[in-house]
Amino acid sequence: MPQKPKLTEELEQENLRQSADLYAELYAEDEELRELTQAAMVGWPDRE
């Protein structure tokens, strides 16, 4: 498989960072979202 151009890779990484930052901000501000996340993790092998 051909390698992606460096600029494309850098842009994808920046978009991923921005998305993660936005999610972290929303997660910190939204108690209901934190509760839903915790409920969804119940039963995962590393959470037992």
pTM value is 0.63
**pLDDT at 35 exceeding the cut of 60:** yes
- What does the pLDDT average to over 3-21? 95
Kindly write down the DSSP assignment for every residue of 9-36, as one continuous string: HHHHHHHHHHHHHHHHHHHHH-HHHHHH
Q: How many CB atoms lie within 10 A of CB 33?
A: 13
Residues in the chain: 48
Average pLDDT score, the chain: 91
Q: Where are the domains of the chain?
A: 6-42
- What does the pLDDT average to over 2-19? 94
